[in-house]
Structure formats: structure tokens, C-alpha cells
A = this chain, B = another copy of it.
Amino acid sequence: MTHPRSEDPADTPWRRRLHTIVFEADTPAGRAFDMALLALIVLSLLVVSLETIPSLSEPTRLWLRVLEWVLTVIFTAEYVLRLMVVRRALVYAGSFYGVVDLLAILPTWVSLVFPGAQALLAIRVLRLLRIFRVFKLARYLSEARLIGDALRASSRKIAVFMFTVSTIVVVVGALMYLIEGPSNGFTSIPVSMYWAVVTLTTVGYGDISPKTGLGQAVASLVMILGYGIIAVPTGIVTAEFANAGRKLEDHHINTQVCAHCGADDHRSDSHFCRHCGTALH
């Protein structure tokens, strides 16, 4: 059995070794790399969030800014390393993790030009998805897949349900605008529809609330309606879960990433990449 692609001349030993460390978590070195990376990601999230607190002292703020730049430089170096190590750089750059890795460093660089862009750094949280790979939480991934399957199977029912809810929101919004009017906080139909969503979902901020007797009566009906229809998506998803639970076969997935195309989620008994056919070690 020959695996022509692994004979690629660019596939030098040090590159394969770096690939194992940077992209996988099955070796001690690879795991240490990913653990350090995760710690830095959590640290960077903390820095980004804390930086927005207005009551910070000026020195604290400076320290946080310095930390953020240090972390961004590290993440940029890591991104460049990944591009160099993987055999098909463009495939990685276009993959989910590749895009996330780029988005995680872009805002700080952009903030040199547009100051507000830093808040977007919160998307770094998506990088935490790597945690699943590190802790070999492959089982969790199959659970996530189970939830996803259940939601997908009931997506058509949910679409019909969402359409019904949207219709109720528009009709109730227009009705309450007529009943309460701008003087009671229902300043326009869009605002009135926002109130309808706040009420139907039982969030109930109270920033806008009916003042007239008729408005309160209609609002009561809307609330009871909302209370009743909360049962519908629950019923749909529960029935689907009961089905999915029966069908689930325990997928055994490991943390290897193909050195050729960057595909992951390989089953433990796979010998070749399920995507491009390259041999897995």
C-alpha cells in the first residue's frame, strides 16, 4: 500500500514534528503547547474584558494595554507558524480554526487605525474550542453532535414556530401601538414590536409597560399566550432528543489533524484522512 501524498518533498521531518506539536495534542510536547496556548487565550479574554471597566486607574490600564500587545504578538507569531507548518496553507487559512485564529489577532492591529475595534477581541473566546482537543474530550464532541442533530432534525418545525412567533410579534406590536400610543412609551411600531418580543419571551425588562386598562388586558393575554407557546419548542426538541438518544452510536474520535489538509475529527480506527486520503500517524 503506497501513500503517494506523504512522499511530498516539502514534508521534511522537522516540519512533520512541528505539525504534531502545533496542531495535535496526542504527544507530551503537543499537549504542553496547547495547554500554554489555552492559558494565554483565557488571559487575553480577561485582559480585553477588564480593559473596558471605566473605574480603572491609569497605571492598571497601561499594564493591561501592554499585556494585550504582548499577547497579540504571540498569537500573530503562532498564526504565522501554523501557516508555515501545515502543508496547504490556504486550506488551513480558510478552515474554521484558521479564520478564528486570524480574527483573534486582527482587531488589535486594526485598533492602531480605528481605536474602537479592540472590543471585537472578545471573539477570541472561540479559540477556547481548542480545549476540546487538548483534554481529549472527544466524547464531548459527540455529545455536541447529538445536540446539533436533534436541533437539525427539528429545524423545520422550529422554522414554522419562529414564523408564527414573528407574525404574533408584528400583529401585537401594531395593536399595542394603537392602544397605548407614543405617550405611554410605545413610541413607534418597531419599538412596540421590541416590547412584544420582551413580553412573549417572558424577559420583561419593564422599560416599556402598558399603562391603560385595555393595554394591560391585551398584555395579559399576550403573556399567557407566550407562557403557552414556550411549551411548543420544548416539546419539539424533547421529542427529538428522545429519538436521537436511541439512535446515537458512540463515535470514537481522536485529536489528530491531517498534515495535508487540516481536517480533524478522525475516528480512532481511521488510518487515512477522511477528507483528502493522506495517511495519519
Contacts and interface: CB of A to CB of B under 8 A. Distances in A.
Q: How many copies does the complex hold?
A: 4
Interface stretch (A1-9, A82-90, A152-160, A251-259): A152-160
Contacts of A268: none
A131 B115 CA distance: 44
B177 A161 contact: no
A-B complex: 7 closest residue pairs judged by Cβ atoms: A122-B174, A203-B204, A205-B206, A235-B238, A206-B206, A235-B237, A52-B188
What's the dominant secondary structure at chain A's contact region? helix
A234 interface: yes
Contacts of A219: 194
A93 interface: no
A53 B177 CA distance: 11
A167 interface: yes
Given A162-B224, A202-B202, A223-B198, A190 B156 contact: no
A190 B173 CA distance: 23
23 contacts: A52-B192, A120-B178, A122-B171, A122-B173, A122-B175, A123-B174, A139-B156, A144-B160, A146-B157, A162-B224, A190-B216, A191-B216, A197-B223, A201-B202, A201-B227, A203-B226, A205-B205, A205-B206, A205-B209, A231-B236, A231-B238, A234-B235, A243-B245
Contact of A230 (B50, B223, B230, B235): B230
A195 to B, nearest CB: 9
A63 interface: no
Using C-beta atoms within 8 Å of the partner chain, give the interface range for chain A: 35 or more
A198 B238 CA distance: 24
A119 B235 CA distance: 35
A249 interface: no
Interface in A184-242: 187-194, 197-207, 209, 213, 216-217, 219-220, 223-224, 226-228, 230-242
B228 A236 contact: no
B171 A125 contact: yes
A59 interface: no
A69 interface: no
Nearest to A166: B125
Contacts of A200: 227
Instruction: Identify the interface centre among A140, A177, A203: most chain B CB within 10 Å of its CB.
Output: A203
Instruction: Identify the interface centre among A128, A178, A219, A239: most chain B CB within 10 Å of its CB.
Output: A239
Interface in A115-134: 116, 119-123, 125-126, 128
Nearest to A170: B125
Contacts of A197: 220, 223-224
